[in-house]
Structure 1
Amino acid sequence: MDDRDYEIIMLLAETKNITHAAQRLYMSQSTLSKRIKLMEKELGQTIMLRSRQGVHFTPAGEILITHAKSITQHIRTLKQELALDNGTVHGTLRLGVSINFAHFFLARTLQALKIHYPRITPHIKTNQSRYIYHALWHHQIDAAIVRGEFADWSGQRLHLFSEKICLIYSEKKDIDFRSAPYISRQTDLHMENSVLQWLRENNLSINTLNTGITVDGIQTVVSMVEAGLGWAIVPEICLSHFKGSVMPLNFTNGQPLIRNTYLLYTMDMLALPQLHAFVQFLTHHKGDLYV
């Protein structure tokens, strides 16, 4: 087996789908299938089963995945360290980023990073924070920028910024929060629990609110509120151009509702010089980038 075989195994472990893996590898499904058969012949084991539901790895295949992760990481670390030239940091930075962070802050972050480290090549994956966190756990990315709390994370955590959680509604008309539509969206458990606590403390209940509107996307929420279609509770990150009323929320004890954004990574991955440089860059410049 060679480097390409290990890349194939890692992609199949991620996608669980022959078609999707073949597309990302820029090869035909038949070529990929032949490559898998050659691997199985070399190993003397069936490593995966195929069905209409996708790829299912056998116990032998699961062992192969574990070793493929280790081998590809060692090869990648070797190549990145060899790429260092006269103290200049080279290499690809595999970074997972929350969708909302990507929308509002990613461009300025990468622009500033390019000035300081022009030979770092960012490879960005964007998704909701919980999926980015999952990708970090499964070593699909080098580091993750996530929003919200992940209490089970045992690695390194760099706090980037905090923001207020606000109640918003249109200035076009007065609003009765009990009867007007509450525009909600899917979010993480910590944010959801904070909102529910604030509602309870203010004699409001999610069960008695007019909750007929649920959307996927924070910008959609803001647009609907601006149009006078209801009210919502959102983080401050999306309100720089909002035209309406904004009320930062506090619990009854005076503590503000806030949402934190973090860079998550592990000490092991700091062996990658480009990640080490990125961590140092954010440590020193986060106050300028995220104000």
Structure 2
Amino acid sequence: MEDRDWVVLQELYKYKNITRTAQALFISQPSLTKRLRHIEKELGVKIVQRGRRGVHFTPQGEYLAKAAKEMLFNLRQIKEQVQNIDDKVAGPLRLGVSNYFTKFKLPGILKAFKSRYPQVEFQVTTGWSREVHQLVYNREVHIGFVRGDYSWPDQKHLLFEEPICIASVETIDLKELPTHPRINYQTESPFQKLMDNWWTENYTEPPLVGMNVDKVDTCREMIINGLGYAIVPRAMLDGVADVNKINITDAAGNPLLRQTWMFYYQESLHLHSVRAFVRFMTDTQE
């Protein structure tokens, strides 16, 4: 079997659907079906059975799909070790990055690191912090950038602490906040809990929600256009002069902060690219 065959099995087991798997692999459905038949012929077993609701794995197929994850992990490690034999900082660097960090912080960081180590190849996976946390925990990425309070058993560095603020074009008296239209947006559950707790500590009535939007980027544009207020990390409005920002505090008067952490395993530091990147990030924060 070829490397790509293990990828096919892994993705098909994930989606349990020929169409979605073909889309994820950027190949046609006939090509995917042909590849599956080739694998079955080579191994002499039936791997999947097609039904009205997708594909079903046979016992042999279940075994192969679960083995695919281990095979691909081992192949990746072998390639990384081979590229790591020389002393030069080169080869792949797999990063898991939260969506917010990707937009507002990551491009400048990668540009600066790439100028110093041009032979490093970035492989970036973005998503919610909970997803990134899982990626780095399962060693699918070397380093994860996670926002919020997540437990971690190994190495971690606090990179940023951002004040949380009420942002609005209109000048707002916090005592009258429940009477003003609020813009809600989808966010991580720890941050949503932080906002909800702050609200219930300060108000006995629910917020007056004027609109619900899909993400913080959309919320930012709504704020700038004067369509309401929102509770957001202050950094996302850096450089926007016409928006009023009021940092909020807890009951003891301490500022509410959203933290961004860098997570990784100590064992990953034997790779030159990982060690160089960790050093680069920690030196930048000093």
> How would you bin the TM-score normalised by the shorter chain?
0.7 to 0.9
1:231 positional shift: 1.2
Partner of 2:82: 82
> Could you tell me whether the CA contact under 8 Å between 2:96 and 2:141 is conserved in 1?
yes
Amino acid at match of 2:64: L
1:270 positional shift: 4.0
* TM alignment of 1:56-75, pairs within 5 A: 56-75=56-75
Amino acid at match of 1:238: M
CA distance in 2, matches of 1:46, 1:267: 42
CA distance in 1, matches of 2:138, 2:12: 13
CA distance in 2, matches of 1:187, 1:33: 39
Call closer, same or farther: CA 1:128–1:269 in 2, change over 3 Å: same
Call closer, same or farther: CA 1:3–1:235 in 2, change over 3 Å: same
Call closer, same or farther: CA 1:260–1:266 in 2, change over 3 Å: same
Matched, 1:210 2:205: no
Partner of 1:38: 38
* TM alignment of 1:170-209, pairs within 5 A: 170-171=169-170, 176-205=176-205, 208-209=206-207
Which secondary structure does the structure 2 equivalent of 1:177 belong to? helix
Partner of 2:146: 146
Which secondary structure does the structure 2 equivalent of 1:108 belong to? helix
Partner of 2:47: 47
Which secondary structure does the structure 1 equivalent of 2:97 belong to? strand
> Could you tell me whether the CA contact under 8 Å between 1:172 and 1:228 is conserved in 2?
no
Amino acid at match of 1:108: G
Call closer, same or farther: CA 1:188–1:73 in 2, change over 3 Å: same
Call closer, same or farther: CA 1:197–1:285 in 2, change over 3 Å: same
Give unmatched runs, 5+ long, in structure 2: none
Which secondary structure does the structure 2 equivalent of 1:225 belong to? helix
Q: Which runs of 4+ in 1 moved over 6 A?
A: 172-175
Two-structure CA RMSD over aligned residues (Å): 2.7
Partner of 1:284: 283
Task: Report how many aligned residue pairs link the two structures.
Answer: 284
1:143 positional shift: 2.8
Partner of 2:92: 92
Call closer, same or farther: CA 1:89–1:169 in 2, change over 3 Å: same
Query: Please, which moves more after superposition, 1-10 or 22-31?
Result: 22-31
* TM alignment of 1:2-21, pairs within 5 A: 2-21=2-21
Amino acid at match of 2:213: V
Partner of 1:118: 118
> Could you tell me whether the CA contact under 8 Å between 1:77 and 1:271 is conserved in 2?
no
Query: Please, which moves more after superposition, 268-277 or 278-287?
Result: 268-277
Q: TM-score, normalization: structure 2?
A: 0.86
Amino acid at match of 1:168: A
CA distance in 2, matches of 1:125, 1:61: 28
Which secondary structure does the structure 2 equivalent of 1:274 belong to? helix
Which secondary structure does the structure 2 equivalent of 1:73 belong to? helix
Partner of 2:257: 258
1:85 positional shift: 6.4
Amino acid at match of 1:105: K
CA distance in 1, matches of 2:52, 2:88: 48
CA distance in 2, matches of 1:13, 1:2: 17
Call closer, same or farther: CA 1:54–1:137 in 2, change over 3 Å: farther
1:62 positional shift: 3.8
Q: TM-score, normalization: structure 1?
A: 0.85
Matched, 1:224 2:222: yes
> Could you tell me whether the CA contact under 8 Å between 1:80 and 1:273 is conserved in 2?
no
Identity of aligned residues (%): 36
CA distance in 2, matches of 1:100, 1:260: 12
> Could you tell me whether the CA contact under 8 Å between 1:81 and 1:273 is conserved in 2?
no
Q: 1:84-136 CA deviation, whole Å, 9 max, x = no partner? A: 46411221222221111111111111011112221111022222323333444
Query: Please, which moves more after superposition, 14-23 or 120-129?
Result: 14-23
